[in-house]
Amino acid sequence: MSSIIQLLPDHVANQIAAGEVVQRPASVVKELLENAVDAKATDIKLIIKDAGKSLVQVIDNGVGMSVTDSRLCFERHATSKIRLAEDLFSLDTKGFRGEALASIAAIAHVEMKTKQDQEELGTHIIIEGSKFVSQEVAVLPKGTSFAVKNLFFNIPARRNFLKSEVVEQRHIVDEFQRVALAHANIHFTMYHNGSEMFNLPPSNFRQRIVNVFSGKTNEKLVPIQESTEIVSIQGFVGKPEFAKKNRGEQFFFVNDRFIKSGYLHHAIMSAYEGLLKDGCQPSYFIYLNVPPNTIDINIHPTKTEIKFDDEHALYAILRSSIKHSLGQFNVAPVLDFDRDSNLDTPYDYQNKDASMPLIQVDAAFNPFSPEKPIKNSYSSSSSSSYRKPDTSHWEGLYVGLKNTTEEFSGMTEITEMEFESEEVTGSLFNEREVEEKINATYQIHKKYIVSPIKSGMVILDQQRAHQRVLYEQFLTNITVLQASSQQLLFPLHLYFSPGEIELILELQESLVQTGFIFEEINSDSIVISGLPVNVTESEVSILLEQLLSDLQDGIPENSFSQNDSISKSMAKSLAVKTGTLLTEREQENLVNSLFACREPGVSPFNKPTFITMSVEDIDKKFAI
């Protein structure tokens, strides 16, 4: 009987390993940048074309490789980072698996140029799908240059699963930012389709954060510093008033390695308890230094998750250090009241004696006398300023009273007295008022609106109903191109990260059709001079943040799907929230607007907007 189990060929094994290592162009960027950092480079360039589908190139001035190493680095499980199994628990480098270059070479065209400082000539190698095409000697500068072209050229199914260029580019930018933020002492440069996106000179951590996330980031940062036997913490957290809806600016670094940790994120959210609005996320850039033997990095294929020996102690230290920093910089509320300088004693009165108040008593005052004497409230000192009223023409005040008095005195008896009668109606309300009471709407718990109908009553969810109304309005404005704008007296300046600016540029045409007018779009800010009619100036920042958060996983390539996503996001941001008190006019307007929609029964997110209860259903509730 023939054997069933066979050893896989090297090129097949490399393609299978590439499924774990290389998921998209951003995975190639991560591996090449980390190799450049491990090579002790001080200047690293990243060149991208077509969001990494056509080209991903990393050029560094590191130590380079010899002729033997340049050929051996493309073999599976070949690495210079570890020698023994115990080295896995004392890692101070990035890449150590030894599968990255082999996996990348299996699914792309790779061209590598490398040279060591002490060598006169370097090595130029070309590989296509794990096959060595050429290897020759070349005159090269010190360092290494990796060019990965035509990613997934031999696996078209994987290439079809890639997202649009905007989405893939954003993933590349994310990986670039993670490496650049972890190593502020290295000069990083990034080019996309021939244009420079980032130029980050060597600096400290704070300046590197500002260079990556625009100039307004500096005023948002609160420094944190803590050193213990377990962990050394340094970095920055964002002020609560600058919290956003999305989680874009949240970074953990452990021994200069970017990680993701829901447990540590919960520690930070616990430190911000009571300071953030609902649904908002703070920004943070936290660098943790722990002994390498207290962590296990080799628990996840992408090496972005780490296991700590004592997570509970790390949780408590991180939470307390952030709370301390927020309180130290007057971000968190404290128990001490602010001293009012207006209550301080002036310098002129420090040596003066207090003057006793004067008490004046009227000795002639007798409360039991039948006629109370007129009290003269004016002292002798103020009598000179008092002016008596003019009584020379006092007779004129009583002209006409004599005849009136005589008339009343001559009237001996009252013969007839008439009273005004009130008209008695048959109902407490007139017909118009009764009709208005029947058609009235009522709000329950600031969440539901109840309106009577012929068969019973209808109960609306005010937030979902308003979402449906706004959604159809925005979608009509975008598709029919009839949106109107309100001009702002003063243009509105908003600041965003470079990745968010790219998304706004992609959505600019659709946003203009909704009523936005963009005066300028810079690399880190935008200037808005006009808004849609139903959007206020204070809602613009919240609306755009919600829109960017909803579309961070990808913008639909279809124009209708893109317009639909924008309309849904704007409707969710601007809809009246649960807990908002509505007037009767607003309630009636919402009810009428909902039932004028094309699909009033469901919200834009396929949730019911109203329910009906008939009189029979109500009778069943009272049945015994």
Both tokens of 596, joined, read: 């004028």
- Same domain membership, residue 135 and residue 233: no
> CA 247, 253, 257, 261 torsion: positive or negative?
negative
Q: Looking only at Cα atoms, what is the longest distance across the chain?
A: 144
> Are β-strands 43-49 and 187-192 bridged in parallel, bridged antiparallel, or unpaired?
parallel
Q: Are residues 461 and 606 in the same domain?
A: yes
Q: Is the per-residue pLDDT at 202 higher than 90?
A: yes
Residues 136 and 254 in one domain: no
The CATH number of the domain where 192 resides is what?
A: 3.30.565.10
Tell me, yes or no, whether 402 lies in a domain: no
In contact, 233 and 317? CB cutoff 8 Å: yes
Q: Is the pLDDT of residue 494 over 90?
A: no
Higher pLDDT, 16 or 258: 258
pLDDT value for 340:
57
Q: Is residue 363 in some structural domain?
A: no
| Sheet strands side by side (includes 525-532) | 485-495, 525-532, 517-521
pLDDT in tens, 369-414: 776 555 544 444 444 444 555 556 666 656 655 555 455 455 555 5
What is the H or E stretch that residue 135 is in? strand 131-138
Overall domain count for the chain? 3
Domain hosting residue 461, numbered range: 442-612
Residues 572 and 458 in one domain: yes
Q: Which one of 273, 296, 328 terminates a domain?
A: 328
pLDDT over 70, % of the chain:
76
Report for 25-29, 75-79, 367-371: range of highest mean pLDDT: 25-29
Place of tokens 């060598």: 119
Cβ atoms of 569 and 470 within 8 Å: the answer is: no
> How far apart, in whole angstroms, are the C-alpha atoms of residue 624 and residue 621?
8
Q: Say whether pLDDT at 1 is over 80.
A: no
Looking at the fold, whether 520 and 484 belong to one and the same domain comes out as yes
- The span from the CA of 202 to the CA of 70, in Å, is 29
Count CB-CB contacts under 10 A for residue 201: 13
Rounded Cα–Cα distance for residues 425 and 247 (Å): 66
Under a CB-based contact definition with an 8 Å cutoff, are residues 198 and 180 in contact? yes
- Whether residues 74 and 43 share a domain: the answer is yes
153 confidence band (pLDDT: 50, 70, 90): confident
Whether residues 234 and 150 share a domain: the answer is no
CA dist 606 and 471 (Å) reads 12
CA atoms within 13 Å, Cβ hemisphere of 90: 6
The answer to whether position 419 is within a domain reads no
pLDDT score recorded for residue 374: 52
- Per cent of the chain over pLDDT 90 is 23
- Last residue of some domain: 328, 350, 369? 328
Give tens-digit pLDDT for 562-621. 788 888 888 888 888 888 888 888 888 899 999 889 888 899 988 999 999 889 888 888
> What is the pLDDT averaged over residues 33-47?
92
Distance of CA 614 to the CA centre of its chain: 43
- CATH number of the CATH domain containing 570: 3.30.1370.100
User: Is 4 among the domain residues?
Assistant: no
What are the tokens at 103? 């996996």
Is the same domain home to 180 and 224?
no
Instruction: Please check whether residue 334 lies inside any domain of the structure.
Output: no
Position 382 scores a pLDDT of: 45
Instruction: Give pLDDT tens digits for 313-336.
Output: 999 999 999 998 888 876 655 454
Residue 528 in domain: yes
- Domain boundary (276, 300, 328) is at 328
Residue 365, both tokens = 């005052």
Element (H, E) at 602: none
Please check the confidence at residue 19 and state whether its pLDDT lies above 70.
no
15 and 88 share one domain: yes
Q: 275 and 309, same structural domain?
A: yes
We report the CATH number of the domain holding residue 214 as: 3.30.230.10
**Which strand (E) or helix (H) includes residue 338?**
none
> In whole angstroms, what is the distance from residue 51 CA to residue 239 CA?
33
* 132 lies in the same domain as 238: no
Please indicate, yes or no, if residue 384 is contained in any of the structural domains.
no
Q: DSSP label at 9? A: P
Q: Are residues 164 and 281 in the same domain?
A: no
